[in-house]
């Protein structure tokens, strides 16, 4: 029999977990086996965070520093990526705050979702993060000790160091800089393989986490809040894809935006089916050059850079997930804490791997930073695969939009600008 793809294995695991969890109930001895299995999977995800994000940021930034033209395109691309990702995060923040998917009939959904951490304990951890914590976070962006920052998982500090390292390693003599770039590229490739290995365990981890949640809370209780959360994420992705990105293409690129959907349709469908912008990259480049009319000079630089560091859809999901979990615990996050969530969603999304379920690493970082239990991620697995497919499509669309805009700013008459129909 042909082996199932990973996403198919995960869907099967979710279905089995729902059946098993509904059948055994919370007092079954099976729970004693599922709990450590789920915890092992979550620890394996957290293990990837520091080396994966640091190597990804250094390689992505260093690739933008070679030559005057490349440097100019890199600055334009990075500016666009920061703008669209920040916009996506703010959309998520606005929707979650206004709709409140973490509440059921005005009450926190935590008990229904079997979130067992002590709410008062969680509130004490999160509640102390006021204005002084926000100031400390900004001050500590520059790490006094990089190794200590790595050990303690201070991601903002590591990303700041990684950006500066990537900038300056690209500016020294090639005989010194290239070996360092090769080293970090090697580290990144190893971590991608490492991530593939951990994700191969995902069906088992997902089964354990979802079965626990369903067994403790009951399928009927879980479906309502998770379904509401899923609709909020879909609404946010739709606003970003069909309003924000077309507006930016029209304003900055001076081209009719809707042609990009037609031109990029094969890549968008591939991104939806694979949930991996990295796997979609060859098709994305082919669509940009042959169907949209962007030159190889621009497409071959901007699109891979975006695939590495631009994950607007993922950032939206990370922010929405963190806020949803906070609401489920009944927490009213202060402005300072919400600001922390926004910043972390922005920066962690730039360092996650462009693979299925890569956003879970970023969510773990955000929850840890604001004092929420990482184990709460387990409730997200019920809908994660479907939302992963959607947010990956938005990631690819955002990368392609940026490529078209940079091409126009570079003086290229793209097929969209000529109102030519794709071949």
Residue whose entry in the numeric block shows the structure tokens 């070679």? 66
Q: How confident is the model over 293-317, as a mean pLDDT?
A: 81
Q: Which CATH number among 1.10.3860, 3.30.70, 2.60.40, 1.10.3470 corresponds to the domain 6-409?
A: 1.10.3860
Structure tokens at 82: 């920061």
Q: How confident is the model over 289-293, as a mean pLDDT?
A: 85
Report how far residue 380's alpha carbon sits from residue 228's, in angstroms, rounded to the nearest whole number: 12
Structure tokens at 206: 């997902």
Structure tokens at 140: 């500590």
- Residue 109 or residue 73, greater confidence: 109
- Residue 44 or residue 264, greater confidence: 264
Report how far residue 61's alpha carbon sits from residue 167's, in angstroms, rounded to the nearest whole number: 6
Instruction: Report whether pLDDT(1) > 50.
Output: no
Q: How confident is the model over 278-289, as a mean pLDDT?
A: 80
Bridge partners of 104, per DSSP, are: 107
pLDDT digits (tens, 9 = 90+) for 137-152: 566 677 778 888 777 7
Q: How confident is the model over 291-315, as a mean pLDDT?
A: 80
pLDDT digits (tens, 9 = 90+) for 200-245: 887 888 788 778 777 776 666 667 888 899 999 999 999 999 999 9
Return the pLDDT at 245.
93
pLDDT digits (tens, 9 = 90+) for 168-183: 888 888 888 889 989 9
Average pLDDT score, the chain = 78
This prediction has a pTM of 0.71
Cβ neighbour number for residue 215 with a 10 Å cutoff: 24
pLDDT band at 423 (very low <50, low <70, confident <90, very high): very low
């Amino acid at each position: 029999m042909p082996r199932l793809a990973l996403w198919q294995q995960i869907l099967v695991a979710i279905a089995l977990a729902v059946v098993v969890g509904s059948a055994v109930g919370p007092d079954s001895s099976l729970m004693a086996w599922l709990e450590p299995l789920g915890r092992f999977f979550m620890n394996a995800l957290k293990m990837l965070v520091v080396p994966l994000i640091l190597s990804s940021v250094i390689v992505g930034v260093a690739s933008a520093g070679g030559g005057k033209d490349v440097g100019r395109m890199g600055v334009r691309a990075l500016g666009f990526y920061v703008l669209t990702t920040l916009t996506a995060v703010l959309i998520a923040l606005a929707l979650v705050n206004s709709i409140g998917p973490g509440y059921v009939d005005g009450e926190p959904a935590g008990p229904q979702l079997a979130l067992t951490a002590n709410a008062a304990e969680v509130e004490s951890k999160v509640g102390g993060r006021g204005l002084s914590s926000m100031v400390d976070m900004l001050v500590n962006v520059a790490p006094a000790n990089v190794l200590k920052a790595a050990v303690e998982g201070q991601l903002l500090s590591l990303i700041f160091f990684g950006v500066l390292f990537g900038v300056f390693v690209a500016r020294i003599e090639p005989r010194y800089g290239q070996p360092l770039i090769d080293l970090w590229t090697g580290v990144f490739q190893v971590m991608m393989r490492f991530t593939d290995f951990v994700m191969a365990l995902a069906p088992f981890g997902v089964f354990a986490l979802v079965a626990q949640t369903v067994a403790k809370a009951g399928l009927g209780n879980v479906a309502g809040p998770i379904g509401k959360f899923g609709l909020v994420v879909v609404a946010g992705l739709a606003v970003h894809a069909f309003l924000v990105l077309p507006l930016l293409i029209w304003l900055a690129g001076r081209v009719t935006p809707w042609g990009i959907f037609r031109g990029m349709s094969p890549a968008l469908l591939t991104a939806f089916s694979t949930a991996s912008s990295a796997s979609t990259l060859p098709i994305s480049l082919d669509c940009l050059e042959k169907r949209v009319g962007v030159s190889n000079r621009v497409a071959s630089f901007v699109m891979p850079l975006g695939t590495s560091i631009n994950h607007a859809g993922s950032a939206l999901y990370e922010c929405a997930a963190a806020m949803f979990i906070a609401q489920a615990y009944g927490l009213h996050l202060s402005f300072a804490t919400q600001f922390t969530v926004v910043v972390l969603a922005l920066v962690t999304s730039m360092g996650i791997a462009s693979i299925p379920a890569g956003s879970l690493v970023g969510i773990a970082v955000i929850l840890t930073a604001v004092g929420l239990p990482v184990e709460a991620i387990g409730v997200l697995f019920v809908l994660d695969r479907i939302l992963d497919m959607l947010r990956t499509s938005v990631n690819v669309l955002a990368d392609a939009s940026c490529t078209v805009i940079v091409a126009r700013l570079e003086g290229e008459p793209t097929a969209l600008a000529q109102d030519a129909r794709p071949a």
